[in-house]
A and B are shown apart, each in its own frame.
Chain A
Amino acid sequence: MSDYVPSIGLEVHVQLKTRTKMFCACPAHEEGTPNVAVCPVCLGLPGALPTMNREAIRKTVKVGLMIGSEISLRSTFDRKNYFYPDMPKNFQISQQAAPLCIGGSVEIEVGGQKKTIRVNHIHQEEDAAKITHLENSSEIDYNRASTPLMELVTEPDMSSPDEAIAFLTALKEMLVYAGISDCNLELGHVRCDVNSSVRPAGTDKLGVKCEIKNMNTFKGIHRALEYELERQMETLRAGGKLTQETRRWDDVAGVTLPMRSKEYAHDYRYFPEPDLPPVTLDAATVEAWRAELPELPAAKRARFIRDYGLPEYDAGVLTADPAIAGYFEATAQKSQNFKAVSNWVMGELLRALGEKGETIADAKIAPEALAALIALVDAKTINMPAAKEVFQILFDRGGEPAAIVKEKGLAQVSDTGAIDGFAEQAIAANEKVAAEFRGGKEAALMFLVGQVMKLSRGKANPQLAADALRRKLQG
């Protein structure tokens, strides 16, 4: 056991998936040509005023509802003042005094251990522009300026890098599920400030806090935390003292480094945003938004196990992506064989999607078609190799499995007369093998079944072929 106990808290900034920006009608998430999705408001031109994006409010409130926050029926906006070229007004419109969502918690599981991570609050704010520092200059893309952001602040309830990542993974899964955000880390949809401290085992008082700013990959967060916690413990073990400070992660060197105090030491001088009246919600609206919430991943997993009789592994794979889960359920509704549906979705479908780099939304195979295909297999109308061939056709161009089976002549031959004929041909052509079987070599039968399959061009029902051969050889 370690002599020190870590405490980790996260401030998670998430870009919301809205059509327009937080305070103007410019399109949000414009990733193309720089500085095209801009207007007087998001450029902070003289005289421009913000107006509220209600859709962003709705999405943030839904996050609060998912994690059990108390929703503020009256919340207010504040100006957070600091100078930086990515902030067109040199203040950020944010929430300090009365954020939208108060409290709440997220369940995580690490190494089979469940744990509850408390959330302090979630507030609504606007993103900054994207700034790229070149050798002798900097470029600013204001397309990103004023993109709706929610900031979720946890309590320091996590005690390992694994727990921090488990929290972020659970949160991300929830947000993607509910259509709150695409959570595309490469596009910077999720950015974290990571707070950590260590305290001697057996004590309660939190140690000195260090903040690592602006982390945007889960892997980076894990590495940075591993380094940072070790650094703090080493310092204390060596009899040193920690100072509360803000650090940054150097991914190449694999170390955290203190930031110059000038880079972060701000007195933000918060005060109420006079251009925006308080956002008021009535209880009925909040309830209506609650009713729109999707089933959360954990609940869905439990239901898949219960209602479809699936193994825990299958339920986990199928619910990892809400679209896949939806596809599974749509197919299962048309099928009697839930496990087969699960196998097809987890196996052939995910493989085929992966090969093509497509998502389920692009797939041409309708859930009804997959269900019908499974029914054909279960009815022994086609065998498995034929079914895979049909699947590939359905996946590539869609259509009806029965029609494809007919068109390709893939139906199994279950006509005992025809199979008997193939069996006789196989025995005649392979007298030596037939003699081996008669001599007691059971495995020789499989060779002959293969020959029957070959003669029937794959269409013979293998079980019937084996029966026919056995009859002829032993009869």
Chain B
Amino acid sequence: MSAPLHELGFLEAADALAQKTVSSAELTAALLDRSEKLEPALNSLTWFDREAALAQARAADAARAAGDARPFLGVPIAIKDLLNVKGQPCTAGSNILKGYVAPYDATVIARLRAAGCVFVSRTNTDEFAMGGSTETSAYGPTRNPWDVARVPGGSSGGSAAAVAARLAPAALASDTGGSIRQPAAFCGVTGFKPTYGRVPRYGCTAFASSLDQVGPISRSVEDAAAVYQLIAGLDPRDSTTSPRPVEDVLPAVRAARDLKGLKLGLPKEYFVEGLDPEIEQLTRAAVDQCRALGAEIVDVELPHSRYGIACYYILAPAEASANLARYDGVRYGFRAEAGDLQEMYEQTRARGFGAEVKRRVILGTYVLSSGFHDAYYLRAQKVRTLIRGDFERAFARCDAILGPVTPTPAFRVGEKTSDPVQMYLGDVFTVNVNLAGICGLSVPCGFTAAGLPAGLHVVGPAFREDLALKIGAAYQHATEWHRKRPVDPQGGRP
């Protein structure tokens, strides 16, 4: 008997559909059945509509029967609840957007729709992508499929958990300070944040506009590359997208077997106190594997790395404070009835937003306020330039940079909710990649003694997605970590 349908990856599903060994309706139904079964334990999805998804799948099957040969026709994909899909709810994990139905497709969604993909479910996220554990979601925390007592990471914890638990072959997610890579590492799946400006943000509910980037979470680098290629490229609706053509990286990614001729940098700043010893050991083993594959490992310096967290937690909230101002109860979403306009604003936002969002809006408002603007916002912009310069200098010495994705494996649900600073420190290895606007890949690189996954971070220069993906693919070709899967969780939520 062949493997169950839900085990099919994104490219495998495309092949199976092309060979007509399975229909999109069968595959979609299998994923929905599985979602219904596992969701009580995982809470990785915010919404799915069996009939809507099946209707889309049947339409894809009918098109294929009529001779439509689009390569990804009928392939299901899950979508982070931050991305607007026309006719579906889009709440960004927040009560303030309760009942809001998107009237338009995000550009990435329009591209997947044009490719024929089926939007099978929407995945949980920290509220407005603000968090590293998916615990700030208005829908409650998502659980890590490897240990339901632990968090899946965040903010794209729903996407990572759903892909790890085989509720979808792949998912779209977004990454502002590590929100794709960190949950991918926590859940033992592959996550890819492209270069800023590579993937259109139009229709991705904004958290921090100069840092947000949409990317895939999948079970292999090949699948990540396939999804990435579908969504990348210039968008006239997003002025920050690059006009560079998107090259076809898939053949090179599929053919990647070794790392000969590549210089991979190892920043000494990434192996410091606070790094969990097991994570350090797993990362070093992965680096050794890369060396064994033919890469030359060189030391590089990223001296301003240690200012990354402080810089990020000024700039991201500053932008967010403006981006989230539109949620005011006037036009859409939740509105608190109140006596006058001012009170309506206050009550709507007081009740509509959760604590973490409020914390960041207040923080962002503060750092932009007259009298503080120069000391915080302006200073942070200068630090951001220095961090970008660190990477430019490092990439003069190496092709890509390796390191850990997270300082620790997945922590317990509730463990850090009362200590936001501890939560923020979890972003230490990922935020600098967003601040520098470059690309980063997280690939599974082993397990702790407790059976929790760890991720290897492959950081590439701007617009060298091809390089980061090839390195990750060669590593996955030589290792089995990405093929490990969690035991299906049983029953309801612990």
Residues of A within 8 A of B (CB): 40, 43-52, 79, 81, 83, 85, 88-91, 140, 267, 269-271, 274-277
Contacts and interface: CB of A to CB of B under 8 A. Distances in A.
Contacts of A50: 239
Contacts of A52: 239
B202 interface: yes
B326 A271 contact: no
A270 B370 CA distance: 9
Interface of B: 83-84, 90, 92, 97, 100, 102-104, 106, 201-206, 208-210, 236-240, 318-319, 321-322, 325-326, 328, 330-332, 341, 345, 365, 368-370, 373, 377
B203 A47 contact: yes
A79 B319 CA distance: 10
B106 A47 contact: yes
A44 B345 CA distance: 16
Given A44-B326, A47-B205, A269 B104 contact: no
B239 A274 contact: no
Contacts of A140: 330
B195 to A, nearest CB: 15
B239 A89 contact: no
B205 A46 contact: yes
Contacts of A274: 208-210, 240, 319
Contacts of A88: 326, 331
A50 B202 CA distance: 9
A46 B333 CA distance: 10
23 contacts: A40-B104, A43-B331, A45-B332, A46-B90, A46-B97, A46-B102, A48-B202, A49-B238, A51-B236, A51-B239, A79-B322, A81-B368, A83-B328, A85-B330, A89-B322, A89-B325, A89-B326, A90-B326, A267-B369, A269-B369, A269-B373, A271-B377, A277-B239
Contact of B322 (A40, A91, A267, A276): A91
Contacts of B210: 274
Contacts of A47: 83-84, 90, 102, 106, 201-206
A88 B42 CA distance: 37
Q: By DSSP majority rule, is chain A's interface helix, strand, loop, or mixed?
A: loop
Contacts of B90: 46-47
Nearest to A84: B341
Nearest to A89: B326
A263 to B, nearest CB: 11
Nearest to B83: A47
Given A40-B103, A43-B331, A274-B319, A90 B325 contact: yes
Nearest to A50: B239
A281 B162 CA distance: 48
A47 to B, nearest CB: 4
Nearest to A277: B239
Contacts of B331: 43-44, 88
B104 A83 contact: no
Contacts of B84: 45-47
A275 B240 contact: yes
Given A47-B205, A275-B209, A83 B325 contact: yes
Main DSSP-derived SS at the B contact region: loop
Contacts of A275: 209, 238-240
A49 B201 contact: yes
Contacts of B103: 40, 45
Contacts of B322: 79, 81, 89-91, 269, 271
Nearest to B212: A274
A49 B239 contact: yes
Nearest to A44: B326
Given A47-B205, A83-B325, A271 B239 contact: no
B270 to A, nearest CB: 28
Contacts of A44: 326, 331
In order of increasing CB-CB distance, the 10 nearest A-B pairs are A90-B325, A269-B368, A274-B209, A274-B210, A46-B205, A47-B203, A44-B326, A85-B330, A47-B205, A89-B326
A140 B330 CA distance: 10
A83 B205 contact: no
A47 B105 CA distance: 10
Nearest to A268: B370
Contacts of A83: 325, 328, 345
A43 B104 CA distance: 13
A274 B208 CA distance: 9
A417 B71 CA distance: 99
A43 B209 CA distance: 18
Contacts of A270: 368
Contacts of B102: 46-47
Contact of A49 (B83, B202, B330, B365): B202
Query: B321, B322, B373: which has the most chain A beta carbons within 10 Å?
Result: B322
A267 to B, nearest CB: 5
From B202, B319, B325, residue with most partner A Cβ within 10 Å = B325
A273 to B, nearest CB: 8
A140 B331 CA distance: 10
Contacts of B201: 47, 49
A302 B206 CA distance: 56
A80 to B, nearest CB: 10
Given A46-B100, A47-B205, A267-B369, A91 B319 contact: no
B104 A45 contact: yes
Nearest to B344: A85
B375 to A, nearest CB: 14
Most buried by B among A43, A47, A89, A267: A47
A288 to B, nearest CB: 23
Given A271-B322, A277-B240, 5 more contacts: A52-B239, A90-B326, A267-B369, A269-B369, A277-B239
Given A267-B369, A267-B370, A277-B239, A46 B104 contact: no
A91 B206 CA distance: 14
A180 B330 CA distance: 33
A47 B210 CA distance: 13
A51 B234 CA distance: 13
Contacts of B236: 51
Nearest to B84: A47
Nearest to B206: A47
A25 to B, nearest CB: 10
Contacts of B368: 81, 269-271
A33 B268 CA distance: 64
Contacts of A277: 239-240
A211 B58 CA distance: 64
A298 to B, nearest CB: 39
Nearest to B345: A83
Nearest to B364: A269
Given A46-B84, A50-B239, A271 B318 contact: yes
Contacts of B97: 46
A83 B340 CA distance: 14
A85 B377 contact: no
Contacts of A79: 322
A272 to B, nearest CB: 8
A90 B368 CA distance: 15
| Most central of A43, A89, A275 by chain B CB within 10 Å | A275
Nearest to B235: A49
A46 B331 CA distance: 11
A78 B84 CA distance: 26
Contacts of B325: 81, 83, 89-91
B93 to A, nearest CB: 12
B239 A276 contact: yes
A113 B126 CA distance: 67
Contacts of B208: 274
A326 to B, nearest CB: 37
A85 B206 contact: no
A275 B104 CA distance: 19
Contacts of A267: 369-370
